[in-house]
Structure 1
Amino acid sequence: STAAKPTPGWTFTPAPVPTVKGNLDGHWDRRMAKGGVQPDVTIDLHGHTLASAYARLDLALGQAVAADMRLMLLITGKARAPETGRGAIRAAVLDWLASSRHAGDIAAVRNAHPRHGGDGALYIVLRRRRG
Structure 2
Amino acid sequence: MARRRLSPDEQALWSALTRSVRPIRPGQRQPPAPLPTTPDSSVPVSAAPAIKSPPRTQAMPPPRVPAAVLDSGWERRIRSGAIIPDMSIDLHGHSLAAAHGRLDQAIAAALARDARVLLVVTGKPRAAPASGASRRGAIRAEIGHWLDVSPHADRIASVRIAHPRHGGDGALYLILRRKK
TM-score by length of 2: 0.59
Q: Deviations over 1:15-67 (max 9, x none)?
A: xxxx9426731110110111101000010000100000000000010111111
Q: 1:50 to 1:29 in 2, by over 3 A?
A: same
Give the letter aligned to residue 45 of structure 1.
L
- Contact kept, 8 Å, 2:162 with 2:168, in 1: the verdict is yes
1:38 matches 2:84: yes
**Highest relative contact order (Cα 8 Å, sep 6+), 1 or 2?**
1
SS at match of 1:78: coil
1:92 matches 2:142: yes
Shift, 1:84, TM fit: 2.2
Determine which structure has more spread, i.e. the larger CA radius of gyration: 2
Q: Distance in 2 between matches of 1:30 and 1:23?
A: 11
Structure whose residues are more often strand by fraction: 1
- Contact kept, 8 Å, 2:69 with 2:75, in 1: the verdict is no
**Which structure 2 residues correspond to residues 1-131 of structure 1 after superposition, within 5 A?**
20-21=66-67, 24-81=70-127, 82=129, 83-130=133-180
TM-score by length of 1: 0.80
Q: Distance in 1 between matches of 2:101 and 2:114?
A: 20
Q: Distance in 2 between matches of 1:23 and 1:120?
A: 21
Give the letter aligned to residue 91 of structure 2.
L
SS at match of 1:122: strand
Q: Distance in 2 between matches of 1:22 and 1:55?
A: 26
Q: CA RMSD in A?
A: 1.6
- Contact kept, 8 Å, 1:23 with 1:107, in 2: the verdict is no
Unmatched 5+ stretches in structure 1:
1-18
Give the letter aligned to residue 100 of structure 2.
Y
The percentage of aligned residue pairs carrying the same residue is 55
SS at match of 2:124: coil
